[in-house]
Each structure stands twice: as structure tokens, then as C-alpha cells.
Amino acid sequence: MTKKTIATYALCALALGLALLGAAPARAQAQHLVIGGKNFTEQLLLSDMTAQYLRAKGYDTELKNGLGTTLMRSALESGQLDIVWDYTGTALIVYNHVDEKLDAEATYQRVKELDRNIGLVWLNESGLNNTYAFAMPQKLADEQGINTLEDLARHITQEQQAGGKPQLMGVDYEFASRPDGLEPMQKLYGFQLDRSEVKQMDPGLVYTALRNEQLDVGLTYSSDGRIKGFNLKLLEDNKGYFAAYKATPVVREEVLQEHPQLADQLNALSAAIDTEKMTDMNKRVDIDQEPIGKVVTEFLQQQGLI
């Protein structure tokens, strides 16, 4: 081999090495995903779960959670976040200001369509529905044979007609007064509580009052860990008053274009999540005081996702 040939090989090798060095940061950057989350337990779990899951798939993940609802949404729209978990009802009512009454499937399709116009893609919704719900102490619900909101309405009316004891209902301040809150709910189900029977309080205090049997019924969230931890019974909203709040991964469209496999990967994660599983994880963190990372890792392993 001549000196000229050796020099040519050396130059080629150097050029290739420089090209690879130049390409490496670009490849690493292309795999970098920023995952956002809101500032309550369920969202901390979902965002941490997504980060762990995608890290196991080979992505470089950065976690930015603990955000307020509107701040998280703004960060997603501006490109500061790549992936979040959000709720269909929140997107419909809070972000898009739609006041039309829609069922769960119609809500999902509407927000999917609306957000596609601004480059946000709603993937497959999970089985987790963190909507408003009314709950009772399990013992009291069993004694009174109450399983649905219709059962509750019938019981309240019967007690009022018989001159029985007042039925105490705890709700937060917002729900008590807003136009899609307590009053239209009572109208739909056909009962009317006296003002003295409606106790307005901080949402967290509703759970404590139910656990201590200081309330007959209270407004809760359907996947809150305290439902299980405080032995409460969720009443079925059998007339469909409350909007669906299905937890769904939302990704910027350009991120999905860069990573075509990401949609299927996140859809597989979404398929593993439902209200019962999330309620259990929320309980483990809020009631049993287990670390979020540990709860998430065990869930992903149990589901065969990592």
C-alpha cells in the first residue's frame, strides 16, 4: 500500500469519525423526550410511569411535573413539553370551552378533532375515568341499599316525606354554585336538599368527613385513593350527569413524526391503565405513604411493560 493510499484511507477514516461524532448528538437529541405532569398524585404517577416506561424503551426522558393544569397545557402547546396525560373532560370544557353535553365517546372524538388543528394528537384513551362522583361510607350505603345516584335521590325524597333525619351532603365551593354543578344535578335526579343539608367545604375535608361519618354523602373524584383507603362506596351516575374525564396520552404531532413507533408504545401503556388500578396506586401513595417511583416500577413490571 502506497503512502498516498494510506493517507487517503486516513483522511476517509477521519472524515467518517467526524461525521459520526457530529451525528451522535443529533441522534441523542432526537430520542430526547420531555414528559409533563400536573401537581396531584395521579398525575405524578402517570408522568413518572411514562418516563420509566419510555426510558426502558431506549429514550432519554426528562420529567417536568408538578405543574398547574393551564401551565401544563401552555407548555405543551409551545413545545416545551412533548408528552402529557390529560383528561378528555378538561380539554373539552376548560381548554376548548365546549358546554355541549356529550357522552364519553363523543367527548373523546371532539377534543381529538379540535386539538388536531393545533398540532396535538390524542392517542388511545385509557380505562381511567377520573370524573366527579358521589360517595358514601360503605356501611351506610349497604344499610340503606344505595348503589346509584337514583337510589340516593329516592332515599332522600322518602326521608323528607316521612319527616326523617336531614341528609347531609358535602361538596366543594365551586360545585355548589356553578351552573353545571349541584342544582342541575338535583333537577336531573329529581330531589332537592335544603340549604342547611348542603355543607360546602374544602375538597379534602369531604373525604375526612365521610370517613368519620359526619356526612351521608359527598362529592369526590372517582379514582382518588381515599375512596379505597377510607372504605367509601362510589355511587353509580346511572343517568350520566357527569362528563367523562378519561386519562389519555397527548403528544405533539411533530414528535410522533420523528418517532413513528411512539404512538403504539404509548397506546400499549394506556391499555394497561384503568380506574381500579389507578385508585390502588393513588391509595398506596396517599394513604400507605409508598414512594411514587416504587409504586410505578412495580406496576410496570406486573403489567409486563418493563
DSSP for 57-119, please give it. TT-EEEEEEEE-HHHHHHHHHTTS-SEEEEEHHHIIIIIS---S---HHHHHHHHHHHHHTTT
In CATH terms, the superfamily for domain 132-234 is: Osmoprotection protein (prox); domain 2 (3.40.190.120)
Q: Where are the domains of the chain?
A: 31-129+244-302, 132-234
Q: With beta carbons less than 8 A apart as the criterion, state whether 198 and 171 touch.
A: yes
Per-residue DSSP letters for 200-233?
E--HHHHHHHHHTTS-SEEEEETT-HHHHHTTEE
Round the CA-based radius of gyration of the chain to a whole number and report it.
25
Using CA of residue 153, residue 159, residue 161, residue 166, what is the dihedral sign?
negative
Q: Matching CATH topology for 31-129+244-302 and 132-234?
A: yes
CA 215 vs. chain centroid, Å, equals 27
- pLDDT profile of the chain (306 residues), mean per 10: 38 38 40 94 97 97 94 97 97 91 95 97 97 96 97 95 92 84 94 94 93 96 95 96 95 96 98 97 96 98 96
Q: Which three cell numbers stand for residue 64?
A: 417536568
- Go through the chain and tell me how many residues it has: 306
Buried b (16+ CB within 10 A) or exposed e, 153-175: bbbbeeebeeeeeebbbbbbeeb
The structure's pTM equals 0.82
Rounded CA gap, 175 and 193, in Å? 14
Q: Which residue has the cell 379540535?
A: 114
Q: Is 6 exposed, middle or buried (0-12, 13-18, 19+ CB in 10 A)?
A: exposed
Determine the pLDDT at residue 179.
73
Beta bridge mates, 134: 219
| pLDDT of 252 | 98
The CATH number of 31-129+244-302 is 3.40.190.10
DSSP state of 40: S
* pLDDT of res. 83: 98
C-alpha cell at 85: 396525560
Dihedral sign of CA atoms 52, 54, 56, 59 in order: negative
Residue 176's pLDDT is 87
Q: Are 139 and 241 in contact (CB under 8 A)?
A: no
The x, y and z cell numbers of residue 13, run together, are 477514516
